[in-house]
Amino acid sequence: CGIFGVIGVQDASTFVALGLHALQHRGQEAGGIVSHAPETGFNQARRFGYVRDNFTSQKIMETLPGPISIGHVRYSTSGSKGQTAIRDVQPFFGEFSMGGAAIAHNGNITNANALRRELIERGSIFQSSSDSECIIHLMARSMGRSIPDRMEEALRKVEGAFSVVAMTRTKLIGVRDPLGVRPLVLGKIGDGWALSSETCALDIIGAEFVREIRPGEMVVINGNGVQSHFPFRPQPSRFCIFEHVYFSRPDSILGGRSVYETRENIGRELAKESPVDADLVCPVPDSGTPAAIGYSLQSGIPYAMGIIRNQYMGRTFIEPTEQIRNMGVRLKLNVNRALIKDKRVILVDDSVVRGTTSRKIKEMILDAGAKEVHFRIASPPTAWPCFYGVDTPQREKLLAATMSEEEMRAHLEVDSLKFISLDGLYRAVGETQGRSKDCPQYCDACFSGEYPVKPADMVEQGFVM
Ligand code: 5GP
Ligand code: SF4
Ligand code: MG
């Protein structure tokens, strides 16, 4: 998901709408915005679909006045998967003795089922099926004297991955979980401030990137500026390495590094680790593009747009049902026939999950008359599901969970298939020594199976780590 918040500017919600539009790649199912104005109190709008279709008209933006606003774009990783109900669309709102608060959450709470059971037993009335709603109920039960105090107390009970943007009548609040799994950055806009999942959204509203919120940090922003706390037990950080590979936009800065450059580095590492003689390097657009450029630069094999993407389709993976996903590939990607005919082609993509994309693309490329097809993948085999906010399917559906690299190659019927090594990926993100075995610098559980936070709900349901 994508989260964004603004305080201290007129019509804050219009900036939030623009910010969410720039974060649309993080969630396309639905979006919501909350604002507060002294005259109207809290206002809220939640809609299915794209930000550009819902939050651009004057009619709706007029209903969201005031100098404080937060918003969320949703990609369902928990809750009613497939058919998101409007009640699962964030931000969530709660009234407390000291006033109202709205929260928007990116990530996944790994002990949400246990928390929900306990809260319901003690009288909480849940409105949604979302894991994030637990935070509101935990806040309601807290005896803390201010909303930030209550949030701190609530979040200390929550396990898993969370970046949170929240607001009260007068404050904008940002928090990252102790491991810092999901991103969150601080920006300055005029006399006000912004919080965003990614820096690309600061750019489009003309905000200046100040810094990342640190893992385990809570910032409380009001008219007096930014106050920082560290409410959790300090731990070594474990940022999601897949943000670098796929999830974040290439024009964002993560951990002081350009995502684009990192992806180009991944392509270079791939070319060093797994060279092959061929005529063309083609990306599977758009997610494979920077890595394909890197592969081409490193290998000297010409880069070409052998597959053309229809710009009006969203990210296929994010459409939740299998049927839509299957159609999606063909609706979204088409082979540039004239270019491909009689060529030996290297195809670069960011990941292989179920193998749907790769299989379809290989068929299309062979149909177009390619002589050879070589896949190069910018991440290690995805053999484990993510429980921290990226919607990978159950383990059984992951190609790499049951097949070796050679078995996957045979299954996809391609001439070669190579994934970047885990160490190669770490080198590409700037860890020159590769991955530290004792304490990996990132979360890489979907590749390594080493989960930095025990996924308690899943283990309870029988998941074997
Ligand atoms: P597959 O078709 O193998 O199931 O999925 C791989 C494709 O899904 C890649 O082209 C990748 O760009 C895309 N993708 C979109 N979202 C995700 C995600 O959340 N995780 C992963 N691993 N791949 C994703
Ligand atoms: Fe990111 Fe993978 Fe860890 Fe999920 S399991 S947080 S996708 S690295
Ligand atoms: Mg892709």
Ligand 1 atom closest to the Cα of residue 356 is 2
Residue 21 to residues 26, 44, 56, 106, 111, Cα–Cα distance (Å): 10, 17, 10, 16, 31
In this prediction the ipTM stands at: 0.93
Q: Is the CB of 333 under 6 A from ligand 1?
A: no
pLDDT at 310: 83
Residue 207: per-residue pLDDT: 98
Q: Where are the domains of the chain?
A: 2-237, 258-436
Nearest-angstrom CA–CA distance, 366 and 347: 12
| CATH classification (class only), 2-237 | alpha beta
**ω into 350 cis (within 30 of 0):** no
- The tokens 């097949």 sit on which residue? 403
Give the Cα separation of 123 and 190 in Å (integer). Answer: 44
In the numeric block, which tokens belong to residue 30? 């639905």
On whether the CB atoms of residues 334 and 390 are closer than 8 A, the answer is no
Amino acid at 304: A
Is the CB of residue 226 less than 8 Å from the CB of residue 5?
no
Q: Look at residue 81 in the predicted model and tell me its pLDDT.
A: 53
Ligand 1 centroid – CA 247 distance (Å): 10
Dist. CA 163–CA 212, nearest whole Å: 12
| Contacts for 292 with CB less than 8 Å, ≥ 6 apart | 267, 281, 282, 283, 303, 348
Cα separation, 190 vs 432, in Å, equals: 39
* Buried b / exposed e along 8-40 (16+ C-beta atoms within 10 A): bbebbbbbbbbbbbbbbbbbbbbbbbbbbbeee
Cα angle 208-36-76, degrees, rounded to a multiple of 5: 75
User: Which ligand minimizes its atom distance to the CA of 239?
Assistant: 2
- The token pair that represents 431 in the structure block: 């860890």
- Residue 391 CA to ligand 1 center (angstroms) comes to 9
Three-state SS at 16? helix
Give, as one character, the DSSP assignment of residue 396: G
134 lines ligand 2 (CB under 6 A): no
What pLDDT score was predicted for residue 222?
Answer: 96
pLDDT of the chain, 465 residues: tens digit per residue:
999 999 999 999 999 999 999 999 999 999 999 999 999 999 999 999 999 999 999 999 999 999 999 999 998 765 445 567 899 999 999 999 999 999 999 999 999 999 999 999 999 999 999 999 999 999 999 999 999 999 999 999 999 999 999 999 999 999 999 999 999 999 999 999 999 999 999 999 999 999 999 999 999 999 999 999 999 999 999 999 999 999 999 999 999 999 999 999 999 999 999 999 999 999 999 899 999 999 999 999 999 999 998 877 765 555 566 676 666 677 788 899 999 999 999 999 999 999 988 998 999 999 999 999 999 999 999 999 999 999 888 899 999 999 999 999 999 999 999 999 999 999 999 999 999 999 999 999 999 999 999 999 999 999 998
State the pTM of this model: 0.95
Structure tokens at 354: 């179920």
DSSP string over 306-319: -EEE-TTS--GGGS
101 pocket-lining for ligand 2 (C-beta < 6 Å): no
Residue ranges of the binding site for Mg(2+):
287, 349-350
Assigned CATH topology for domain 258-436: Rossmann fold (3.40.50)
For residue 448, the 8-state DSSP code is: H
Handedness of CA 131, 134, 136, 137 (dihedral sign): positive
Closest CA to 247 of 352, 364, 389: 389
Q: Is the CB of 356 under 6 A from ligand 1?
A: yes
Residue 110 vs residues 256, 406, 451: alpha-carbon distances, Å: 28, 34, 11
**Residues β-bridged to residue 346:** 281, 374
Bridge partners, 48 (sequence order): 30
Q: Quote helix, strand, coil % in the chain, to nearest 5.
A: 35, 25, 40
pLDDT of residue 78: 54
Which run of H or of E encompasses 175?
A: strand 172-176
- Cα–Cα distance for residue pair 227/185, rounded to 1 Å: 15
